[in-house]
Structure 1
Amino acid sequence: MYQIKNFIQNIVSYNYCSNPSNYINIGYGIDNNYARCCASSIASFCLNNPTKNFNFHIMAKKLSTNNKDRFKQLAQLYSININIYKINIDTLANLPTQIHLPIATYFRFILPLVLDNIDKLFYIDADIICLKNADELFNTNLNDNIIGAVPDLPWMNTKRNKALNLRNHIYFNAGMLIINIAKWNNFNTFAKILQAIQNEPQKFRYLDQDALNLILTNHIQYLDTKFNCIDINSIEQKNIILLHFAAHPKPWNIAFSISKLCNKFNKNLYQYYENKTPWKNFPLEQPKNYKEMKKYSHILYQKQKYFSSLKWYLKYILNKN
């Protein structure tokens, strides 16, 4: 059994909730790049569920002092608790990562170990926004299952079940999980997932999400798409409770507003909530790696912005080599 001391280097708590009872515990796993969207996600839960007492838990790698200060301001602003856990990643250092799937994606596995004094945790990807009252989510019954999760897109279900050799399984998206802490830890979920990834890293195209599907098959309470909506065309938009900006570019990137992902419904959603945080008026982010540069160049080309497209394509070439 892994020990908490193996992972946590430091804990910073900003406790401003005036009613320390009936907490709803929500967890995130981020690095410094995802601080702004994590804050926007937190603000969206607070604004749409104003009567709830929230305890937010942020597993973080290399969070800047400025961002910690902003999280403190956020906790004060909404009278909530925000706990920031600085992670020692040595235990995870040998696990595979990708440009858009950094080491922080594994932090969701650690949360149940650290928070073993609570019954239920809502794990939320930082690029998820709460659009309305979430009582239905918070009151979900897991019916003796380890987690609650939402099925992924149909093509993902077909493709990943075949790759993982899973039968009679519905492949779920791990961006939102309801976790029964005791059952998760008793099943030794963390150790089983790490072992699976270390044994066959090439098998797990979607890393932690693939591993979760493999290890927890038959232990899942499946939930409605409205609790982790990836495709807004697959559901009545008025019913969406949690909207997941899973694809790239993200709404805080300069490429989003001119990409095919942007539409009338979601164009200003993220920005509305970011403007309710200490990250208000932050400039949109430019492409940070060669994949983002290539994608932005392609989007600009489609918009007939040929000179700008060429400029970003040259940056892509230089950064790829």
Structure 2
Amino acid sequence: MHIAISFDQNFITPTYVFLTSVFNNNQHEKIFFHAIATGVSDKDKQDIEDYIQQHGAEIEYYNIDDKNLTNLIIPEHSYFTVATYYRLFFPSLVPAHVEQLLYIDTDTVVVGNLKDLYLTDVRPYPAGAVLDTVVAVRPDLGIDELGYYFNAGVLLINIPIWKEQKISEKSIQFLVDYPEKIKWVDQDALNAVLYRNVYKLAGGYNVTFYDIPKDLPRKKYKEFISDKYIIHYTTGLHKPWSILGENKFRYVYHDYLKKSPKSKERKYKNYKVDIKSASFFVKVRILEYLYDYPMIIKLLKRR
């Protein structure tokens, strides 16, 4: 399996967690990682390569010329970094013999075997992706019909078709031509360019915060993810390393963190909280507990 990942210095720990989750759930698969890592020291790159090789896998790092990124905007007040654009360059960077490439964001954990996903035949489309359950339509991008806008955090790319249709070039041009339309960086550009031209993957391959029922009781957590494959920690607010994050499956990330080379790091990064945020934290955690007792929730709603 050829898997593409991109990250910067701020995402080294999440990358280790991601890799650990891949290895734990794909122990008998041969995996080759293609990576773009900017601002990452040679030592950190080597440490990651050593960890990957310890699990019988391989990795190749690629360099991106900053000139390719100068015209690509990052929306104000967003948590995105320029690293999010790297996925656009993988099809032109990987060796010619690689025809199928699975791109996965590194703010994810893998909870199932990826072989069936990787072997999915997306032809005649250039890529497969999971529909976004939050964004229904985007008329500004030309998407005015339900069931077409997708989340680009997991992309199964058929490289020959992708190259033939010049998807990367068209996406970059869209970013340059219509910066005012960009909310979700290259995901918006890809959706505009690939409208009606994507193979629709099953939702379990990209489970975001918004796919998780708010009233899901803790005793049903394992059942819920038993048929899922990739949990994607979308939105800047709900990352699993945020103490105020509401993602119920942050514990899955923490479990793999404990198994990773970064096991001694703290689960949460932002310990400095004020009275307002502390109150919010307590409310969220109590609600998660109370969802195991629906009668109490009903009584509280009546009051």
Q: Shorter-chain-normalised TM-score: which range?
A: 0.7 to 0.9
Query: For residue 288 of structure 2, what is the aligned residue in structure 1?
Result: none
| Residue of structure 2 in register with 1:109 after alignment | 88
> Contact (CA 8 Å) 1:151, 1:171: kept in 2 or not?
yes
Confirm or deny: 8 A CA contact 1:26 1:121 kept in the other structure: yes
Q: Deviations over 1:233-278 (max 9, x none)?
A: 299432111111112231123x1xx5332x3xx2421122223322
Change (3 A) 1:171 1:177: same
Task: Please say if 1:77 is aligned against 2:54.
Answer: yes
Of residues 149, 174, 178, the one that matches 2:129 is 149
**Corresponding residue number in structure 2 for 1:286:** 269
Q: Percent of pairs identical after alignment?
A: 26
CA distance in 1, matches of 2:275, 2:100: 43
Whether the 8 Å CA contact 2:238–2:246 is kept in 1: the answer is no
1:189 aligns with 2:189: no
- Assess, with a 3 A threshold, how the Cα gap between structure 1 residues 104 and 267 changes in structure 2: closer, same or farther: closer
Q: Give the TM-score normalised by structure 2.
A: 0.81
2:5–2:34: 8 Å Cα contact kept in structure 1? yes
- Deviation of 1:62 after TM superposition, in Å, equals 0.6
Please say if residues 73 and 278 of structure 1, whose CA atoms lie closer than 8 Å, have aligned partners that are also in contact: no
Verify the 8 A CA contact 2:240 2:268 in the aligned structure 1.
no
Alignment match, 1:171:
149
Whichever residue aligns with residue 180 of structure 2, its letter is Q
* CA-to-aligned-CA distance 1:131-158 (integer Å, 9 cap, x gap): 12223212211031100000001x4123
Q: Does 1:242 align with 2:230?
A: yes
The total of aligned residue pairs comes to: 268
Cα distance in 2 between the residues matched to 1:37 and 1:116: 26
Distance in 2 separating the partners of 1:233 and 1:42: 27
Q: 1:252 aligns with which of 241, 244, 247?
A: 241
SS in 2 for 1:233: coil
**1:55–1:80 CA contact under 8 A, matched in 2:** yes
Whether 1:65 aligns to 2:42 is yes
Structure 1 position 100 matched with structure 2 position 79: yes
Counterpart residue type for residue 210 of structure 1: D
**Offset at 1:25?**
0.3
- CA 1:221/1:108 → structure 2, altered by over 3 Å: closer, same or farther? same
Letter in 1 for 2:131: P
Distance (whole Å) between structure 1 residues aligned to residue 193 and residue 280 of structure 2: 42
Three-state SS of the structure 1 residue aligned to 2:21 is helix
User: Residues of 2 paired with 1:245 and 1:208: CA distance?
Assistant: 18
5+ residue gaps, structure 2, are 215-222, 284-303
Q: Structure 1 residues 156 and 93, CA, compared in 2 at 3 Å: closer, same or farther?
A: same
Provide Cα deviations, 1:56-107, integer angstroms capped at 9, x if missing partner: 1111111123422320231232111022223222211221114411110000
Relative to structure 1, the CA distance from residue 259 to residue 195 in structure 2 (aligned partners, 3 Å threshold; closer, same or farther) is: closer
In the TM superposition, structure 1's runs of 4+ consecutive aligned residues that sit over 4 Å from their partners are: none
Helix, strand or coil at the partner of 2:48: helix
Contact 2:254-2:267 within 8 A present in 1 as well: no
The answer on whether the counterparts of 2:34 and 2:94 sit within 8 Å (CA) in structure 1 is no
**Equivalent position SS for 1:193:** helix
The code of the aligned residue for 1:148 comes to: G
CA RMSD in angstroms comes to 2.4
**Against the structure 1 CA distance between its residues 196 and 284, is the aligned structure 2 distance closer, same or farther, given a 3 Å change threshold?**
same
Partner of 2:185: 207
**Deviation of residue 304 (structure 1)?**
6.7
